[in-house]
């Protein structure tokens, strides 16, 4: 069983108490104003009801560009700022030094010493992407209600609605948006789907569609959502996505791509080129649900095959990056250099996307494109292994209930080969 020592990232103000075994008060609930039955009675939270969007490429999806702040933007940032004023964060992320590293890709370096100081090292198992939910360990039902910003659900009448004070319907398990008390950037939040179902950290179709809806609803190109699987530096085994604002392009968003397949649902699949990490890019579709199902099928395939991965939702939900990775496995096997280990950088979705969160002044001062490239190259699967993983993904897609047809292209812009039906072994050949 592979396991490594790693520094835990605290995402809630009660996480350290939970890990340290701090006893709850004998009466009056647990004393934390949490989301469990001891404290949840008659609790209320704001509710943001989003409009369901159908089309990804059509008129239903607004243009993703700088525009006046949307209501969801103002809600997230206003509530987040309120929690900052109330002192709920473990440090002031607005004081962290940040710079764009000179070079072709413009990697972003941030010095965030507060994110790892005084954290208790914990054993972290890295060889199982799917692990059962463990009620005894920290999970998001144990956060304080003051850390929850609002409930996030689909509107019942097809229009955006906001209710400032709505009872928490525990039986129907609402999805919620909460602060990350150890933020990487301004407005860093967590999207926790169906929180009371206590789902382990594993993507399913419904949860990924919810994350896409949040990206669409924000309508802000600088607001991205990310996901880390277990084994790819998720630190809590309770289903959640992360999101924050960063007002520059991520390097991964600027990397060239090569189209390798197009599904009959309209989803185009490309592979990254000239980037230190090998990965797939999904975009375009007849509907948001089709895009969500396609990416979810790929993620579910990786989960079932025990392959750690990270996901970045970009361009207001139009573009999704899927990155299988092996850094934690290399760590456990002793295959990562001491120089990289000394940085204590855990390359999760944000680092993979090009936002390098550095924990030592030395690394920040010496940050360079070459150093960023060197770290991320260790995260990537080899070309041979990446091709094997892609074959698994496409095989899963072509055998799904959607009866997906696909076309493989010799190169971008070439005439496609004849359409191949679901299950065809030809469909597994990647160019």
Average per-residue pLDDT for the chain? 84
| pLDDT value, residue 409 | 47
Confidence of residue 61 (pLDDT cuts 50, 70, 90): low
DSSP per-residue codes, 84-127: HHTT-SSS-GGGSEEEEPSSSS--EEEE-GGGTTTPPEEEEE-S
Name the pairing type of β-strands 309-314 and 223-228: antiparallel
Residue 365 DSSP label: H
Q: Which of 46-55, 64-73, 297-306, 417-426 has the lowest mean pLDDT?
A: 417-426
Q: Kindly report, residue by residue over 156-166, the tens digit of the pLDDT.
A: 888 899 999 99
Q: Kindly report, residue by residue over 122-155, the tens digit of the pLDDT.
A: 444 667 999 999 999 989 999 999 999 999 999 9
Q: Which of 194-203, 233-242, 390-399, 406-415 has the lowest mean pLDDT?
A: 406-415
Whether the CB-CB separation of 275 and 352 falls below 8 Å is answered with no
> How far is residue 207's CA from residue 41's CA, in Å, rounded to a whole number?
26
pLDDT more than 90, % of the chain: 70
What is the rounded radius of gyration, in angstroms, for the C-alpha atoms of the chain?
21
Q: Which of 90-104, 105-119, 243-257, 276-290 has the lowest mean pLDDT?
A: 105-119
DSSP per-residue codes, 417-428: PPPB-TT-GGGG
Triad 169, 243, 79: Cα angle to 5°: 60
| pLDDT value, residue 14 | 59
Q: Which residues are catalytic?
A: 240
Per-residue pLDDT, averaged over 337-359, amounts to: 96
Q: CATH class for domain 39-428?
A: alpha beta
């Amino acid at each position: 069983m592979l396991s490594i020592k790693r520094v835990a990232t605290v995402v809630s103000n009660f996480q350290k108490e939970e890990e340290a075994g701090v006893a709850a008060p004998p009466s009056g609930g647990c004393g934390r104003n949490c989301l469990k039955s001891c404290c949840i009675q008659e609790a209320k939270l704001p509710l943001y009801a989003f409009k369901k969007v159908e089309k990804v490429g059509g008129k239903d999806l607004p243009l993703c560009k700088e525009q006046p702040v949307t209501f969801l933007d103002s809600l997230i940032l206003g509530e987040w700022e309120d929690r900052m004023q109330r002192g709920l964060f473990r440090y002031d992320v607005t004081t962290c030094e940040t710079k764009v590293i000179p070079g072709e890709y413009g990697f972003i370096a941030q010095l965030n010493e507060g994110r790892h100081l005084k954290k208790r090292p914990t054993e972290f198992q890295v060889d199982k992407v799917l692990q059962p939910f463990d009620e005894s360990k920290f999970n998001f039902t144990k956060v304080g209600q003051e850390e929850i910003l609002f409930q996030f659900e689909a509107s019942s009448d097809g229009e955006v609605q906001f209710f400032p004070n709505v009872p928490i319907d525990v039986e129907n398990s609402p999805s919620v948006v909460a602060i990350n008390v150890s933020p990487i950037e301004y407005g860093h939040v967590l999207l926790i789907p169906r929180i009371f179902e206590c789902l382990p950290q594993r993507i399913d179709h419904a949860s990924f569609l919810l994350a896409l809806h949040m990206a669409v609803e924000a309508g802000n190109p600088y607001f991205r959502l990310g996901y880390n699987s277990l084994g790819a530096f998720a630190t809590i085994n309770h289903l959640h996505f992360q999101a924050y604002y960063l007002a520059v392009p991520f390097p991964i968003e600027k990397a060239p791509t090569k189209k390798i397949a197009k599904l009959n649902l309209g989803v185009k699949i490309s592979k990254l080129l000239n980037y230190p990490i090998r990965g797939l890019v999904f975009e375009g579709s007849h509907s948001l649900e089709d895009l969500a199902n396609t990416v979810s099928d790929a993620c579910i395939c990786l989960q079932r095959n025990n392959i750690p991965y990270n996901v970045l939702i970009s361009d207001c939900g139009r573009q999704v990056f899927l990155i299988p990775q092996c850094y934690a496995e290399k760590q456990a096997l002793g295959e990562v250099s001491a120089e990289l280990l000394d940085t204590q950088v855990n390359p999760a979705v944000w680092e993979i996307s090009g936002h390098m969160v550095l924990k030592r002044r030395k690394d920040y001062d010496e940050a360079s494109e070459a150093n960023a490239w060197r770290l991320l190259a260790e995260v990537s699967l080899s070309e041979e292994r990446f091709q094997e993983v892609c074959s698994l993904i496409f095989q899963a897609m072509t055998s799904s209930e959607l009866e997906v047809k696909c076309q493989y292209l010799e190169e971008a812009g070439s005439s496609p080969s004849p359409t191949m039906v679901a299950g065809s072994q030809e469909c597994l050949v990647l160019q």
